[in-house]
Structure 1
Amino acid sequence: MTEYSIQMASRLSGVGIHTLRAWEKRYQAVVPQRSGNGRRIYTEEDISKLRMLNELCGFGSSIGSIANHSSMELEKLLAKFTEKDNKHVAEMPLTSVTDKVVSRDALSHLLLALQAYKLDVISHELNKLIGVLNPREFVLDVLYPLLQEVGARVKQGEMTLAQEFAISSIVKFHVGHLLYGTFRNSRRSDKVFVFATPENNHHEFGILLCALMCVHYGHKFFYFGMNMPADALIQATEALEADYVILGTTNLLPEYVETDLNSYLTDIVSALKPTQKLIVGGNGNFAIDRFHRNPKFQYLTSLQHFDNLIKDL
């Protein structure tokens, strides 16, 4: 039986550590076992229940009303919410023009709304696009070009950092809902992916978009987010029997030098089994020549490259 620390349980379930303790103390939602030194030990069943509780709270349920439900009861409740979401998507009117035109027009509307700080319009527009486009199209035709364009305009002084932060927050909300909500039951593959960024890397959009591509192709995934220590990522990869570790890297922090990332990647690759693979993307500063001949390593050049890699798995 796989066991997890409270830190790992928090990353796997999406529930903050303080919230985990509060839910245990106030509602006995999940009461983990204790090790000999008193540390909490969570099982896979515990984490599964925590993820469902977290999703239901995201849909508006109060933790007090659902904390003591069985996993089967939680699954039924969650199914009702996702059925409503899918029905809502199905009933949305579809445009008669092609998805490419929809995406191009949407980009223009989103940028205009952001320029005017009409954040409610942006959220509404993204929600409509989710009903028209599949997750792959949403990533490649809308989200990625949108974020690239906003970043370029910020560099050119045509938009502010406040606008970039605003669009980032809204996109994260909608992507998070897609990752853990509407499409949670669409798995069609036995491949397991884990997503993270290295320690001291706090830019996660690359792995968020890649995770959404996995949703499209029905691959099982675990999203650990930013700033994942190497030893914790190794432990999680081993415990979850992951086939692929997807690591997003950036070169935003000058104090995070090449040797740090080289050491991090070396630790991960060395710990992987011959059947596992580390896939690294982004513009992180590391010596790619040191790794590219290793069969357990692959470098991503773009989101399209990732799409080509996973669509036939």
Structure 2
Amino acid sequence: MNNIKQDFTIKDLENISGIKAHTIRIWEKRYNLLEPQRTETNIRYYSNQNLQKLLNVVLLSKNNFKISKIAKMSDEDIILQSREVAFATGIKDDAINALKLSMLQFNKTLFNETYNKLIEIKTFKEVFKEVLIPFLNHIGLLWQTDTLLPAHEHFISNLIAQKIHINTADLERKNKDFNKTYVLFLPENEIHELGLLYLNYELVLKGNKTIYLGQNLPLDNLNYFFENKSELTFVTSLTVQPYDDKIESYFNEIESILEKSKHQFIAIGKKTSLIKNNDYKFNISFFDTITDVLKVI
């Protein structure tokens, strides 16, 4: 099956496009922009083609095309005009729309085509910050509104992770001298790693050596590194783990380890707000976001 999610409610269209359902209904009724089908109980539902057309219409509308003018275009003209606008405006909005479709349709080819177009005119750092971060933020909103299945998030996250790995490996081949050494990991039962993966890329880009240990790592698995005489900086990201009632004891254990070494420890995520005001005497720093960390390293 090519398109696992083939039908969308008007609420789905609102969440994905950012256009209110009321406005979509007006466009539908007044201008015949969309052609929904109806269930046996008379509830509207929309096809992938409807969704793609709506995203193109929104792109044109945001770029000073009047809805009345768009409504007179053929479907082919809407696609062509959207491509021209995307090219003239730096393709950010068009790229994000294409990424949404690739995710909803589980379409790896569309994802790669979109990424390849972007990487021809931008650096990977620019692509990630200007396109992928806004896209990932939107995924978070879609997740909250039940527009996505867990499979959608896993599919697109894995594709983005592949691109980060490829670009990081390319930098590592070029790097010969290192500034500092960072050990990056996620706590036990923590699997949300895209942010940490990108931070790993940025650290390598800045000429550092990184040891990326990945997801779901119990603290005692770091003993080899904690016992290392060289000065290391440990970095972790807290999304769902440790649980709120365990986080203080987790960092108390980290502090007792740091007391015996010169290592530094960086913790990132909103969960750090629970303990960032604690009086830790050794080298533990807390940051809300990856962006905040990048300002100081």
**Which TM-score applies when normalising by structure 1?**
0.58
Aligned counterpart for 2:246 among listed residues 254, 260, 271: 260
Q: Quote how far apart the aligned CAs of 1:281 are.
A: 0.8
Q: Quote how far apart the aligned CAs of 1:196 are.
A: 0.4
Q: What is the aligned partner in structure 2 of residue 20 from structure 1?
A: none
Instruction: Kindly provide the amino acid, as one letter, of the partner of residue 302 in structure 1.
Output: T
Is the Cα contact below 8 Å between 1:278 and 1:296 reproduced in 2? yes
**2:205 paired with 1:216:** yes
1:106-145 → structure 2 map (5 Å cutoff): 106-145=95-134
Aligned counterpart for 1:300 among listed residues 276, 287, 291: 287
Quote the Cα distance in structure 1 between the aligned partners of 2:225 and 2:278. Answer: 25
Is the Cα contact below 8 Å between 1:190 and 1:220 reproduced in 2? yes
CA-to-aligned-CA distance 1:150-201 (integer Å, 9 cap, x gap): 1211211333322111101111222122222454323554211111011222
Quote the Cα distance in structure 1 between the aligned partners of 2:229 and 2:163. Answer: 26
Instruction: Kindly provide the amino acid, as one letter, of the partner of residue 122 in structure 2.
Output: L
Q: Quote how far apart the aligned CAs of 1:248 are.
A: 0.8
Q: What is the aligned partner in structure 2 of residue 283 from structure 1?
A: 270
Is the Cα contact below 8 Å between 1:193 and 1:243 reproduced in 2? yes
Quote the Cα distance in structure 1 between the aligned partners of 2:88 and 2:229. Answer: 43
Aligned pair in 2 of structure 1 residues 288, 131: CA closer, same or farther (>3 Å)? same
Instruction: Kindly provide the amino acid, as one letter, of the partner of residue 121 in structure 1.
Output: L
**2:149 paired with 1:197:** no
Quote the Cα distance in structure 2 between the aligned partners of 1:160 and 1:97. Answer: 34
Structure number with greater Rg is 2
* Segment drifting more, 105-114 vs 168-177: 105-114
Instruction: Kindly provide the amino acid, as one letter, of the partner of residue 282 in structure 1.
Output: G
Instruction: Kindly provide the amino acid, as one letter, of the partner of residue 289 in structure 2.
Output: S
Q: Quote how far apart the aligned CAs of 1:309 are.
A: 1.4
Quote the Cα distance in structure 2 between the aligned partners of 1:102 and 1:189. Answer: 36
1:132-171 → structure 2 map (5 Å cutoff): 132-171=121-160
- How many pairs does the alignment contain? 210
Quote the Cα distance in structure 1 between the aligned partners of 2:140 and 2:158. Answer: 14
Aligned pair in 2 of structure 1 residues 241, 135: CA closer, same or farther (>3 Å)? farther
Quote the Cα distance in structure 1 between the aligned partners of 2:281 and 2:110. Answer: 47
Instruction: Kindly provide the amino acid, as one letter, of the partner of residue 265 in structure 1.
Output: F
Q: Quote how far apart the aligned CAs of 1:225 are.
A: 0.4
**2:256 paired with 1:270:** yes
Aligned pair in 2 of structure 1 residues 182, 132: CA closer, same or farther (>3 Å)? farther
Q: List runs of 5+ in structure 2 lacking aligned partners.
A: 1-85
CA-to-aligned-CA distance 1:33-74 (integer Å, 9 cap, x gap): xxxxxxxxxxxxxxxxxxxxxxxxxxxxxxxxxxxxxxxxxx
* Segment drifting more, 183-192 vs 217-226: 183-192
Q: Quote how far apart the aligned CAs of 1:227 are.
A: 1.4
Instruction: Kindly provide the amino acid, as one letter, of the partner of residue 136 in structure 2.
Output: L
Quote the Cα distance in structure 2 between the aligned partners of 1:96 and 1:152. Answer: 27
CA-to-aligned-CA distance 1:213-239 (integer Å, 9 cap, x gap): 112212111100011121222422443
Question: Over aligned residues, Cα RMSD in angstroms?
Answer: 2.8
Aligned pair in 2 of structure 1 residues 279, 102: CA closer, same or farther (>3 Å)? farther
Q: What is the aligned partner in structure 2 of residue 68 from structure 1?
A: none
Is the Cα contact below 8 Å between 1:280 and 1:300 reproduced in 2? yes
**2:220 paired with 1:231:** yes
Q: List runs of 5+ in structure 1 lacking aligned partners.
A: 1-94
Quote the Cα distance in structure 2 between the aligned partners of 1:236 and 1:307. Answer: 23
Instruction: Kindly provide the amino acid, as one letter, of the partner of residue 257 in structure 1.
Output: Y
Q: Quote how far apart the aligned CAs of 1:240 are.
A: 7.9
Q: Quote how far apart the aligned CAs of 1:128 are.
A: 4.1
Aligned pair in 2 of structure 1 residues 237, 171: CA closer, same or farther (>3 Å)? farther
Q: Quote how far apart the aligned CAs of 1:269 are.
A: 2.8
Q: Quote how far apart the aligned CAs of 1:280 are.
A: 0.6
